[in-house]
Every structure is written in structure tokens, then in C-alpha cells.
Amino acid sequence: AQKITQTQPGMFVQEKEAVTLDCTYDTSDPSYGLFWYKQPSSGEMIFLIYQGSYDQQNATEGRYSLNFQKARKSANLVISASQLGDSAMYFCAMREPRTYKYIFGTGTRLKVLA
Amino acid sequence: EAQVTQNPRYLITVTGKKLTVTCSQNMNHEYMSWYRQDPGLGLRQIYYSMNVEVTDKGDVPEGYKVSRKEKRNFPLILESPSPNQTSLYFCASSDDRGGTGELFFGEGSRLTVL
């Protein structure tokens, strides 16, 4: 069965340092999309970054990059130069093109320390 | 402004009293879906719709109904709410005609069933 696993319920990082949020996935479908979303304390869901299963290069969006290791089925989010505003819940998600189902992980709560 | 609008944002109801959470998007997206968010469980997909009159079950459809009579609207219906449906609900849409297919989320609807 398709599954997303986020093993870090909570993490701390010092302001201006980099942090890696872990995400592993499981699917038998060769074609899929991987996403990261941010949920600040205000509650809205914000799209951060996308990686397609056939993409050769790791996705990057500003301070966000996705460390995609297909053989290990991992899609870790790297946030460089952390800011206080990065304190939030982060969700990893997978979409299967064949079924159009979205599966989310349980989330990692990141706290950036001043 | 491109957006997904959910109503109501907050609702307290009693067991068995039918309720509908409306969802509307103005981006002409074909794909729409509903999720519930519970502590420690992340987001779980309830139902999704690829297009008008096409709906499919997600991972937790029990106790919910949906309809897609118009492209822009995708209401979530709780025919006989129970306390275990107390949750934060999100509606989302995406454009699957190209691009990444990231989800655009509504602001969420917090439902309490007494």
C-alpha cells in the first residue's frame, strides 16, 4: 500500500542554520509526484516544492530544496538559512497519477530558535 | 484573486444533525478533494473528484458524502455526524492539465460534533 512516513514529530533548529526534514515513501507505481507543504500556526496550507519521479535533478525553490533519492525512496526537505518564520508544521505528500489519490505524512513540527 | 473558499470556517453541532461544508474554487480546476486533519495523523483524503459528476473515495470516506454538479463547487455532506468526525477539514483543488498538480487549499473548517 502507498505510504508516506515522517519519523520526526518535532525538530529544533537555530536561526540561520540549515535543517533537513525526513520523508520516506512507498509505492509500486513508477510514476508519482512528491510534495512538501507548510502549515504555519495560523492553519493555512502552503505549497513549497514538487519533485516528479522521473525528474533527474533535485527540485529547488529559493531556500527550499528536495533531496530526492529514488532508490532509497526518500524525499527529504532541506531548508537553508532558517528564519523564525519557518517555524511551522511541514507535511510530505505523494500523488499517484494513476489513481489521483494524495497521501500525506503525519508531519514534522519545526521550531526555529533565535 | 485565485482562491478556494470553504464555509463555515467554524461549526459546533450535535450528533445526528445533518450538515454541509461548502467548497468553491475560482481557478477552473478540474480536480477537487477533501481532507481531514487530526493530531498525529496528518491529513487524510476523504473524497476526490476528477471532474463534474466524477467522484472517488479517498482513504477515509465512511460517514461522508460529496457531489460535483458544477466544476467550481464540491460540497462535503455529513448526513449523520458523530463525535469521531470532530476534526479540521480542508478542501483543495488542483490543475491537472500540466505543471506539478500542487494542491491549492481552502482555509479550513473546524468542526466539533457534540
CB contact under 8 A, A100 and B107: no
Whether B77 contacts B20, CB under 8 Å:
yes
Residue B97: pLDDT over 70: no
Task: State residue A40's pLDDT score.
Answer: 97
| Interval B29-38 mean pLDDT | 95
Whether B48 contacts B31, CB under 8 Å:
yes
CA distance A25 to chain B (A): 15
How many degrees, rounded to 5, is the angle at CA A70 between CA A66 and CA A72?
A: 100
What backbone phi and psi angles, to 5 degrees, belong to B85? -95, 5
B99 — pLDDT class (breaks 50, 70, 90): low
- Kindly list the residues from chain A whose CB atom is less than 8 angstroms away from the CB atom of residue B44: 104
C-alpha cell at A6: 515522517
Residue A109: pLDDT over 90: yes
CB contact under 8 A, A100 and B100: no
B64 — pLDDT class (breaks 50, 70, 90): very high
CB contact under 8 A, A103 and B59: yes
Residue B81: pLDDT over 90: yes
